[in-house]
Amino acid sequence: MEIYWYLTAPDGPQPWTASGSRQVNYAYFQQVARAVDHLGFTGALLATGAHDPWILGASLIPYTERMKFLIAIQPGLISPTLLAKMAVTFNQFSKGRVLLNVVSGDKNTLGAYGMHLDHDERYALSDEFLRVLRPLLAEQQVDFDGDHYQISAAKLALSNGGYPPPSLWFGGSSAAAQEVAAQHIDTYLSWGETPPQAAEKIAEVKARAAKYGRQLRFGIRLYVIVRETDERAWQAVDELYASMDDKAIQARQQLAQGSDSVGQARMGALHNNQRPDNARDLEIYPGLWAGIGLVRPGPGTAIVGSPQTVERTLRAYQDAGVEVFILSGFPLLEEAYRFSELVMPLLDVTRDESPAADRHDTFTWGNLWDRPVSEVEPK
């Protein structure tokens, strides 16, 4: 499987509260990126948020060697030709480590950018955008005449530098979204639904893709709360839940008000905007907790438990057809270490093992005592 972490603000022990939020600046992003890079993760998602994901990702290339950058892009806010130029430049400079997450958005967020299209029209625009973008990424010339884009003799002046073209990732639960994914996308993403729900959706998208003679990979975005035992993990849930007051819940509801996102509606249905007295009442599947969705938009489900329980839940998703996991915890930095130390040893994680990444010596306390004193003591 592939395991990606998250590299987007806000962050902190309870980032939906003022006291639990952490300052997220360039120095902090460097820390998280370095952690992702050397802890064994496949890469990280740079989602839409307060910081521009392109500038953030490009600025972190020199601080990383192995991690893939999964960068969110939004059709309609940028020309597909310009986006292709940016992506291929990034691909060259990062030595083939960029991936593109196509985000069609919803009317709430896109209205701020002056884009006002209804739900299905946004996916029609995404369809045209991808018909232009994909061949450009493959260093081909494009002429295209559509409802949203009229492109004449577009061809990039640079290549991918010998690396594969950036692959295309995409999420969307509606029929219109699934149809776009079936035709153009390499990896289809879902938010934190249960393994049976994921299996059902994967079957639907596979059937759509088969009509076009295509095969897709499948991924899911989840939170994770792992501790040494199940009991301690649920104690950590209780601590998070205690910080989810009415103010934080109302802020999330206000943000989602009027949204036409089908995926967001599916997430909301897992908790129905209700805060029961007992956090465990929001366990929607063994070891899967929907409480995060009360205070955070987007994916609102967390895998909870001991390393063995978390592994078991990941395997359940894998059995459902999921190959890629995008995970995160609160805070990002500490939980990246916790997950890597407790869970990663139980998994066979695919990541880039380029020669450039292997030129550096590694040092662990475990092999210190096998070295001569002259190599250990400072001089």
Q: CB–CB of 33/63 below 8 Å? A: yes
204 has pLDDT over 80: yes
Q: What is the pLDDT of residue 102?
A: 96
The CA–CA distances, whole Å, from 124 to 101, 135, 213 equal 17, 18, 21
Q: What is the pLDDT of residue 272?
A: 67
80 has pLDDT over 50: yes
239 has pLDDT over 60: yes
Cα distance between residue 129 and residue 153, in whole Å: 15
- Those residues whose C-beta lies under 8 Å from the C-beta of residue 194, and which sit 6 or more positions away, are 284, 285, 288
Q: Give the DSSP H/E element, type plus range, for residue 97.
A: none
Residue found under tokens 């006291």: 19
Task: Name the percent of the chain lying above pLDDT 90.
Answer: 76
325 has pLDDT over 80: yes
Q: CB–CB of 94/69 below 8 Å? A: yes
Instruction: Tell me the CB-side half-sphere exposure of residue 295, using CA atoms within 13 A.
Output: 22
Reported as a pLDDT band with limits 50, 70 and 90, residue 365 is very low
Which residue type is seen at 9?
A
Q: What is the pLDDT of residue 71?
A: 98
